[in-house]
Amino acid sequence: SALVALTQVQGVEAESLPVALAVSYNSGIDTSEYWKSEKLDGIRAIWDGNQLMTRNGKQIVAPGWFTDGLPEYSLEGELWAGRGNFHIVQQTVLDRTPNDTAWKKIKFMLFDVPHSAGNYKKRYFNLVHFVNTLESDHIKYIEHTPIEDEQELLGYLDTVDGSKGEGLMLRKISSRYQAGRSSDLLKLKKHQDAEAIVIGYKVGNGKYKGQMGALLVQLKS
């Protein structure tokens, strides 16, 4: 991811946090075991009870007012500035000196309580209760809803894609929080993507002379 790349380029060592990772959705699964939500195009963040961190273990320097009201237990969510505004989040979150004006464009969209007991359905209801009690303008939860069947799921994907959304996430409602990659968490997108490590860049030519022309990346393959 971009954050992994920047961490390595800057020479900053950070240890990845033990978080749940998604696998791709395959047709034919029992959709009644999952709840769906929109996949937000932001930066995943973990509140550890004291500070915000990326999933790669890098501290996120947020203004004090942004984290006021967050509990002493951990929460997981997405720092998000609306569809198509990933660049705003990236520029703001990676700044070591927080810019109040920029942070006011960002919401912390929560989706899980990692260390809470119980299955996802219970954790989600606890999360909804916390957000509703807090009544904050920038701390919200990502709505999750049951899936009627695969046809309804794919119809919802079309709706999200048509609104320039990134895709869907599916969470198994009977599962306890489990770090690592598993079928407890699924991602469903119209277009596939992959993560890569930025290892260099190429200088631009023509109208891009004096600018970065392209990134050189290394895939897992």
Q: Judge whether 144 and 124 are in contact, CB under 8 Å.
A: yes
Cα–Cα separations (whole angstroms), residue 206 to 88, 215, 216? 28, 17, 19
Residue closest to 147 by CA, chosen among 56, 36, 47: 36
Average pLDDT over residues 52-64: 94
> For position 16, what pLDDT does the model report?
76
The 10s digit of each residue's pLDDT in 104-146 is 999 999 999 998 889 999 999 999 999 999 999 999 999 999 9
Given the DSSP bridges, would you call strands 145-146 and 139-141 parallel, antiparallel or unpaired?
A: unpaired
The 10s digit of each residue's pLDDT in 72-108 is 999 999 999 999 999 999 999 988 899 999 999 999 9
State the residue for tokens 């912390």: 108
Q: What's the mean per-residue pLDDT of the chain?
A: 89
In whole angstroms, what is the distance from residue 191 CA to residue 83 CA? 16
In whole angstroms, what is the distance from residue 22 CA to residue 36 CA? 13
Tally of CA atoms within 13 A in the half-sphere of 92 that contains its CB = 22
Range name among 15-24, 48-57, 84-93, 175-184 with the lowest pLDDT average:
15-24
